[in-house]
Amino acid sequence: MSTASTESTARTASTPGIENTGSLAGTTSSALQTTAPVEEQLQESTASHSSVRDAAPALPVVSYRKVTKRYGELEVLHGIDLDIAAGEKVALIGPSGSGKTTIGRMLMTLEEPTSGMIEVEGEPLWHMERKGKLVRANEQHLHRMRSRIGMIFQHFNLFPHMKVLRNVTEAPRKVLGLDKEEAHERAVEMLCKVGLEDKLDVYPSKLSGGQKQRVAIARALVMRPKVMVFDEVTSALDPELVGEVLSVIREIAEEGEMAMMLITHEMDFAREVADRVIFKADGRIVEEGKPEDIFERPQSERLRAFLNL
């Protein structure tokens, strides 16, 4: 579960050849251009994954290996190595612009890494195997992988013309292929979980900001993802509504069934909910550890300055 960059030296075997098959179809990101051949980018970062898996007792739900992201000349992520175990709650903290949200957006396939490898349950996210080689993923592969990942954004992104219940049933019916009865059953269960059982037939325009965010959480949970990304989910809310949303996330975390990546500026919340806290600054993981170590015994001057200690 360690995410230190020295992990990558344990991989010694060669990886299959890589060939670039061109740009992805149907992606919504505008930053999908790589700046070096895919083969060069991934040769080291994917080496001997299979031998490591054979020795490991449990495969991480999510793995980042030497992941970088550049926008032109600006490199916002520098060789990120990160593992998230099944059921683990990992909080990402750090100053604005440190690359926290970019890490989450790459997992949701909204931003493509410039180099490196991301895996979900041991399967490459942005690449797929073809004729014994790893090639750039097509839209069909990305669509299949997205079903394992959920994300809650800063803004709710609800369908304004659909009532709450249909907002939650739409994805499981269209993406997972559930029939109407099963999708309805799942949706009602999740809306009850977030305390909105009395809002099934209400349009989003009639909800408060906190209620809208809870609908968004129910909509993501109904897909039963292996990992959920919470990206600053309270930043667009009025202060008096923050508590109700954090309470729902806290309850979900306590169930312990789903891995969670919590991108947050709420330090008290990160300390209370997370199993591990990662501090990012200047595009790098500067420090990580248990919440009590990060907040009470920071080792780096950069983290101490961030926490005003």
**73-123 pLDDT tens trace:** 999 999 999 999 999 999 999 999 899 999 999 999 999 999 999 999 999
pLDDT for residue 22 is more than 90: no
**Residue where the block lists tokens 């996330």:** 249
| Tokens describing residue 271 | 């300390």
Q: Judge whether residue 48 has pLDDT over 50.
A: no
Q: With 60 as the cut, is the pLDDT of residue 39 above it?
A: no
CA–CA distance, 37 with 20 (Å, rounded to integer) = 7
Residue 72, classified by CB atoms within 10 Å of its CB into exposed (0-12), middle (13-18) or buried (19+), is exposed
Q: What pLDDT, on a 0 to 100 scale, did the predictor assign at position 94?
A: 96
3-state secondary structure at position 86: coil
207, β-bridge pairs:
none
Summary mean pLDDT of the chain: 84
Specify whether the CB–CB gap between 37 and 20 falls below 8 A.
Answer: yes
CA distance 59 to 255: 21
CA distance 281 to 119: 23
Residue with tokens 């200047």: 282
Say what the pLDDT of residue 236 is.
77
Q: Which of 299, 297, 295 is nearest to 307 (CA)?
A: 295
Residue 133: CB atoms within 10 A of its CB come to 15
Answer with the residue of higher pLDDT: 42 or 233: 233
Which tokens hold the place of 175? 């993406």
Q: Tens digit of pLDDT for each residue in 217-230?
A: 999 999 999 999 99
Neighbour count for residue 37 (Cβ, 10 Å)? 13
For the chain, what percentages of helix, strand and coil (3-state, to nearest 5) are there? 35, 25, 40
Single-letter code of the amino acid located at 70 = R
Is pLDDT larger for residue 114 or for residue 51?
114
Tell me the pLDDT band of 241, cut-offs 50, 70 and 90.
Answer: confident
Task: Identify the band that residue 28 occupies on the pLDDT scale cut at 50, 70 and 90.
Answer: very low
Whole-number pLDDT of residue 10: 38
The token pair that represents 70 in the structure block? 């550049």
Query: With contact defined as beta carbons under 8 Å apart, do 183 and 172 qualify?
Result: yes
Helices and strands in the chain: count of H runs, count of E runs: 11, 13
Tens of pLDDT along 168-220?
999 999 988 999 999 999 999 999 999 999 999 999 999 999 999 999 999 99
What share of the chain in percent tops pLDDT 90?
A: 68
pLDDT-derived band at 57, boundaries 50, 70, 90: low
Task: Choose the weakest-confidence range: 27-31, 103-107, 261-265.
Answer: 27-31
Distance from C-alpha of 93 to C-alpha of 38, rounded to nearest angstrom: 30
Q: Cβ neighbours of residue 268 under 8 Å, at least 6 residues apart?
A: none
Residue 55 confidence class, pLDDT cut points 50, 70, 90:
very low
Tell me how crowded residue 98 is: count the other CB atoms within 10 A of its CB. 22
Work out the average pLDDT over 284-299. 97
Question: What pLDDT score was predicted for residue 256?
Answer: 76
Rounded to an integer, the average pLDDT of 48-52 is 43
HEC readout, 180-217: HHHHHHHHHHHHHHCCCCCCCCCCHHHCCHHHHHHHHH
Where is mean pLDDT largest: 15-29, 235-249, 250-264?
A: 250-264
